[in-house]
Amino acid sequence: MAGGYATSKVLTTAARIGLLSPPYDPVSPEIFSDNKKLPVKGVFLLLNALVALGIYEKRGDLFALRDEILRILEGFPGLIWDLIHQDHLYDVWGRLEMGIRAGKCPELPEEELKRYPASLETFLRAMHAHASFHVPDILTRLNWGGIGSILDIGGGGAGFALALTRRFKDLKVTLVDLHDAIEITRKMTFHEPEAPRISFVACNAFTDPLPDGPFDRILISHLLHIYTAQENQTLIAKAAQCLKPNRDMLLLDYFLNDEQTAPKEAVIFRLLMMTGTPSGDCYTRSEVHTWIHQANLVLKKEIPLSGGNTLITARKP
Ligand SMILES: C[S@@+](CC[C@H](N)C(=O)[O-])C[C@H]1O[C@@H](n2cnc3c(N)ncnc32)[C@H](O)[C@@H]1O
């Protein structure tokens, strides 16, 4: 466990320098280094480490991605963005002790702020990839009959908006996010045939009015963990006003058990939120039940999803 970051860093560095990107052809360390203007020694050592980790294999003087890795990369092109995003998070994890000692997010170093918005685009593309992990469950575990409109609050990356409009040809999604995230998400999706059925609305969901609706369904995915309990309670009550009666709000996030010790991914993720964001945290399912109740909604289902996520649905009577 202690040295786990070493293999992680080998993988994410390979992603950063382009060893896990198309065209996925076998590489010669000399030619690759020349093309990327990198010293050959570093590339050669990294490729050998990737062989040791079972990602590449040696074929004579060339290094080739192993077949099963190639299948994963080709089958899931968005994965590369998650690998690069995980590499950005490495810096935040590096400040964990500072975060623990302060009990909050330490001041962000200047160089981290400078990476914005390049890192925002990577972040949103990674969010798109994460969302696609959950789409099959969301499609199969919920009833989508009669759903014509969705308000997706904090829907940047459009992972859900695109997948849902692709699946349901009459569906319209109103996607709300902060200004910069909306601009990048619009750019990421404009070439998609479904884009005309997605309305992009730049607004701060906590302080600005939400689009009126009313909507058949409201989705709030991975937004609550950025804000305080009080802010989340207010947002859920505000969003409930935009929902039609007899329709559901979907809350997807890393929710915790009452003891705050599981799921593992959520318990670990909340350390990242404390260290990397001003007021982020993960909340127990019981806290979410209270927010739902206070918004005059009725708890309907709790569906555990992969990676320590839970989908909580609540109905407006
Ligand atoms: C972790 S991402 C989740 C994206 C998407 N919902 C998903 O699950 O793939 C959180 C999103 O919420 C957006 N966000 C954060 N604060 C917001 C606010 N005050 N109003 C609207 N959107 C916000 C971020 O810009 C980002 O796109």
Mutate to test the pocket of ligand 1, among 174, 177, 183, 221 (most ligand atoms within 8 A of CB): 177
Confidence (pLDDT) at 308: 98
Ligand 1: residues with CB < 6 A are 127, 130-131, 154-157, 159, 176-178, 181, 204-206, 221-223, 226
Task: Report the pLDDT averaged over residues 203-230.
Answer: 97
Instruction: Kindly report the pTM of this predicted structure.
Output: 0.96
Nearest ligand 1 atom to the CA of 159 is 9
Look at residue 165 and tell me whether its pLDDT is greater than 90: yes
Confidence (pLDDT) at 108: 73
Of 12 and 276, the one with more pLDDT: 12
The 3-class secondary structure across the chain, one letter per residue, is CCCHHHHHHHHHHHHHHCCCCCCCCCECHHHHHHHHCCCHHHHHHHHHHHHHCCCEEEECCEEEECHHHHHHHHHCCCHHHHHHHHHHHHHHHHCHHHHHHHCCCCCCCHHHHHHCCHHHHHHHHHHHHHHHHHHHHHHHHCCCCCCCEEEEECCCCCHHHHHHHHHCCCCEEEEEECHHHHHHHHHHHCCCCCHHHEEEEECCCCCCCCCCCCEEEEEEECCHHHCCHHHHHHHHHHHHCCEEEEEEEEEEECCECCCCCCCHHHHHHHHHHHHHCCCCCCCEHHHHHHHHHHCCCEEEEEEECHHHCEEEEEECC
Mean per-residue pLDDT of the chain: 96
- 13 confidence band (pLDDT: 50, 70, 90): very high
Could you report the per-residue pLDDT of 99-126, keeping only the tens digit for each? Answer: 999 999 988 767 766 665 568 999 999 9
Range of lowest pLDDT (38-47, 56-65, 118-127, 300-309): 118-127
Confidence (pLDDT) at 113: 60
Confidence (pLDDT) at 115: 64
Query: CATH fold of 4-76, please?
Result: Arc Repressor Mutant, subunit A (1.10.10)
Q: Which CATH number fits domain 116-315: 3.40.50.450, 3.40.50.11030, 1.10.10.10, 3.40.50.150?
A: 3.40.50.150
- 86 confidence band (pLDDT: 50, 70, 90): very high
Domain boundaries, the chain: 4-76, 116-315
CA of 155 from ligand 1 middle (Å) equals 6
